[in-house]
Amino acid sequence: MQFYFNKPQRSIGVSGIVFDILAASRRVAMACAWFTDMDIAQAIVQSKAHDKIVVLSQADLKRGDSRACNLLMDNAKDGSAFELEVIGSNDFKEGIMHNKFIVADNVVWTGSYNFTYQARKNYETLIRIEGEAAADIFYGEINDLTCECALWDGSSQFAVSNGAFRCVHCERIKPISELGSGDNSCPSCKSCLSGGARYANP
């Protein structure tokens, strides 16, 4: 493991992250709460890795002012070789996606550092972990997040995913233990059912 401490006016920069992304041949994945760093965005687009997955925060996209996010979304729409997912609340009333990590083959970059230009001016921590076991764990979380996106996708927002569901009535995400009735397309929580809501097939 390598540890880096970013400080105002003494930024560690992102050249190491960009190098690892461009050197990857098997997989590149990123989950990032706030993302504005064009150097990293361009590296992901240019990467020749076989599998590329990006998970962005709905709350971040709501701002609509990130060229880096737009670059990734435009390339994903154009059918490039990477998957892009959006997850979480856009109003902070429910959980936002607050991760910040990048996987590049068997290397993980993570810490307090959001991949933004502002982070370069902050007191931040970055950790570089090299090893297949750690990278597999973080890559597994990326795959879990892509499944979790079903809870936030407007076309399938009530789908059961990773032991949780979104109630058709209150639209809150609840653990499966709170499932009162329903199926994968229209579940209801116990609170809503006890309050008089009735389950009906769609």
The predicted-structure confidence for 96-110, as pLDDT tens digits, reads as follows 889 999 999 999 999
Q: How far apart are CA 49 and CA 6, in angstroms?
A: 28
DSSP-derived letter for residue 92 is: S
SS3 label, residue 52? strand
pLDDT at position 81 over 80: no
CB 152 within 8 A of CB 88: yes
pLDDT at position 111 over 70: yes
The domain 154-202: what is its CATH number? Answer: 3.30.60
CB 126 within 8 A of CB 150: no
CB 84 within 8 A of CB 76: yes
* Domain ranges within the chain, ordered by starting residue: 2-151, 154-202
Which segments of 36-82 are extended strands (E)? 51-57
Topology alike, domains 2-151 and 154-202: no
At residue 100, the pLDDT reads 97
Which of 97, 92, 94, 115 is CA-nearest to residue 16? 115
SS3 label, residue 179? strand
What is the CB-side half-sphere exposure of residue 54 using CA atoms within 13 A? 30
pLDDT at position 200 over 50: no
The phi, psi pair for 17, rounded to 5°, reads: -65, -45
DSSP-derived letter for residue 96 is: B
Architecture of domain 2-151: 2-Layer Sandwich (3.30)
Q: How far apart are CA 174 and CA 171, in angstroms?
A: 9
CA-based end-to-end distance of the chain: 51
How many other C-beta atoms are found inside a 10 Å radius of the C-beta of residue 110?
18
At residue 202, the pLDDT reads 38
The runs of H, that is alpha helices, within 149-201 are: 190-194
pLDDT in tens, 124-171: 999 999 999 999 999 999 999 988 887 777 655 566 777 888 787 777
pLDDT at position 64 over 80: no
pLDDT at position 189 over 90: no
Kindly state the tokens that stand for 3. Answer: 């540890």
- pLDDT-derived band at 175 (thresholds 50, 70, 90) equals confident
At residue 201, the pLDDT reads 37
Distances (CA, A) of 58 to 84, 145, 156, 193: 12, 13, 16, 29
Mean pLDDT, to the nearest integer, of 17-24? 98
The residues, ordered by sequence, that sit 6+ positions from 195 with a Cβ below 8 Å of its Cβ are none
